Structure 1
Amino acid sequence: MFYEITFSPTGGTKKCADLLSAAWNEKTEIDLMKRQDDFTKYTFTAEDICLVAVPSFGGRVPAVATERLQMMQGGGAKAILVVVYGNRAYEDTLVELEDTLTERGFVPMAGAAAVAEHSIFREFAAGRPDANDEIQLKDWSSKIKSKLEAGTERAMPFVGNRPYKKYGAIPMVPKAKSCQMCGKCVSICPVGAIPADKPNETDGDKCITCMACVAACPMQARALNPVALAGAKAMLKKALEGRKENELFL
């Protein structure tokens, strides 16, 4: 059976995962964003194929995604590793994902680093994956499937360093203005940082700045502090400019 396992706060990672799984006609989806889910129930076998897609947060796998993957039993399932980044760099995300899955009994066979619109600075890599990405990622999907069917080992090592770089996220927490108290953000937050009885607030100790609540708010009431946002953008602008390309690891 083919499984698509994703952690996609603002939708970019899911779009890339869907394109890279296009060669398979049927799939079962597992959403790592769902904090209420019991991830210990997922046990795979050597007959299964799992495409696992996560975003790069500061060059690392989001800690909450790692925690939920560590609850699963790989059972020898073949794994396709996908890291999605917002046009800056993915650094050690791919090798960290490889180590996490290997420890849980998965067998990494192929991987990809794909670009999607930046989750915070939406003007960078805007609209990606775009039409050119779609053609490329679908083509890669077919190549990966052919490789798995042929039963050959992975020849190309994943890019990244061990030990991994120190985790360093942008320290900003979305705040709500003119909140209509609909609760959409409460249900979508992967770490439970928004109180159900006070959806206009955010627990800064829990928040991972994944931007899921900002993307989901139907009233566009949630946003980051504009002054802090401008400062962070100025620091990262040079690294975010230009078109970064997708990478395939077979």
Structure 2
Amino acid sequence: MQFKLIYISPNGTTEKTTQVLKNIIEKDGHAVEHINLGRGEYRQDFGPILETINAADIVGFGAPAYHMDMLEPMKMFLQALQSAGQTYQFRAFLYLNYGGITSGKAFSNTAQVLEALNIPVIGAMKVTAPHFHHPDPFPTKTTEALIGDFYEAIKAKDFAPIANDRQKELFAVRKKRVDLLYPLVHIIGKKRELPITIKADRCKSCGKCVKECPVGAIRLDDAVTIEGAKCIHCYHCSVACKLGAVAVPVEKLDTMIKLNKRIIGMESPLNAIYY
């Protein structure tokens, strides 16, 4: 069979999850193409992906959780699927990296879009991963084992779709307070965005931040500028720049994370597969 793994991974953990998946699937004798929506031409144009997506038997959609949903570029790609006016022949699975607090409505929202397009969902997987400013090792052996278990589970049922009623049960939010907070999360998130400052005295105009930005929000002309309307505040630019020319007060993130844990608590189970 032909697999496509379409994902967005500003800070690398979802890309590592994708690579583990790719290795497992290829070892089982299948062909795998993996496509990062945050790299190269795909940042500006989903057309080449849409033109060939029906060549796949199974497509995996992977992203980090952000504001209780899939990260924005993945949501934009799903919108492009809807707008393309195609009839899709493939089956799909979902995979999500998140910090352990809540996966929110990432699965249920995405599954609804796919259901409207008559794309069957065969399974889903959520994996806890460190936040971008924490240098914890990833993936761990436990994570790799979970990814392997996920593939074996969907393979054991011959990649059959999950029935719609069962899907709604599996992808229901884990806590009632998520339903209460979800309508407000984008407003709150906007107010909590951290400032991104370009330090001109440290910048060498190497263009790495421009190349690494997953949504193409950074430009380099006479100086580096960030297009606020495009920026998704993933803060990857601050990690990508090794010169310290892109400054973000990341210490404030840990305060926000602690507050989120008090308000929402930690999701249980932290890691899970659904099939």
State the TM bucket, normalised to the shorter chain: 0.7 to 0.9
Equivalent in the alignment of 2:72:
63
Partner of 1:33: helix, strand, or coil?
Answer: coil
Distance in 1 of aligned mates of 2:211 and 2:66: 22
What runs of 5+ residues in structure 1 fail to find an aligned partner?
A: none
Name whichever structure is richer in helix by fraction: 2
1:39 aligns with 2:46: yes
Question: Are residues 1:190 and 2:203 paired?
Answer: no
Identity %: 24
Q: Give the C-alpha shift of residue 12 in structure 1.
A: 0.7
In structure 2, C-alpha distance between the alignment counterparts of 1:165 and 1:85, rounded to whole Å: 16
- Give the distance between the partners of 2:68 and 2:126, measured in 1 at CA: 12
The corresponding residue for 1:142 is 152
Shift of 1:132: 1.3
Q: Look up the SS of the partner of 1:10 in the other structure.
A: coil
**Aligned partner of 1:217 among 241, 244, 266:** 241
Task: Quote the Cα distance in structure 1 between the aligned partners of 2:90 and 2:8.
Answer: 19
**Range with bigger deviation, 29-38 or 3-12:** 29-38
Which shifted more, 139-148 or 2-11? 139-148
Structure 1 stretch 220-229 or stretch 170-179: which is displaced more?
A: 220-229
User: In structure 1, what is the Cα distance between the partners aligned to 2:138 and 2:4?
Assistant: 24
1:202 deviation in Å? Answer: 2.4
Kindly report which structure 2 residues correspond to 1:30-109, keeping only aligned pairs within 5 A, or say none: 30-34=35-39, 36-37=41-42, 38-41=45-48, 42-43=50-51, 44-45=53-54, 48-72=57-81, 73=86, 75-109=88-122
Is the aligned partner of 1:246 residue 2:271?
yes
> One-letter code of the match for 2:39?
K
Report Cα offsets for 1:27-79 as digits up to 9, x if no partner: 11121113732313324338610011011102112233211232235613110
Aligned residues, how many?
A: 246
- The separation in 2 between residues aligned to 1:93 and 1:74, in whole angstroms, is 24
Tell me the residue number matched to 1:133. Answer: 143
Larger radius of gyration: 2
AA at the equivalent of 1:247: A
Q: Secondary structure at the match of 1:56?
A: strand
Instruction: Report the CA distance shift for 1:195/1:28 in structure 2 as closer, same or farther (over 3 A).
Output: same
* TM, length-normalised to structure 2: 0.76
Deviation beyond 4 Å, 4+ runs, structure 1: 161-164, 226-231, 237-244
- 1:172 and 2:194 equivalent? yes
Matched residue of 2:225: which SS? coil
Aligned twin of 2:18: 17
Q: Is the 8 A contact 2:72 2:232 kept in 1?
A: no
Q: Which residue of 2 aligns with 1:158?
A: 171
5+ residue gaps, structure 2: none
- Two-structure CA RMSD over aligned residues (Å): 3.1
What is the identity, as a one-letter code, of the residue corresponding to 1:190? P
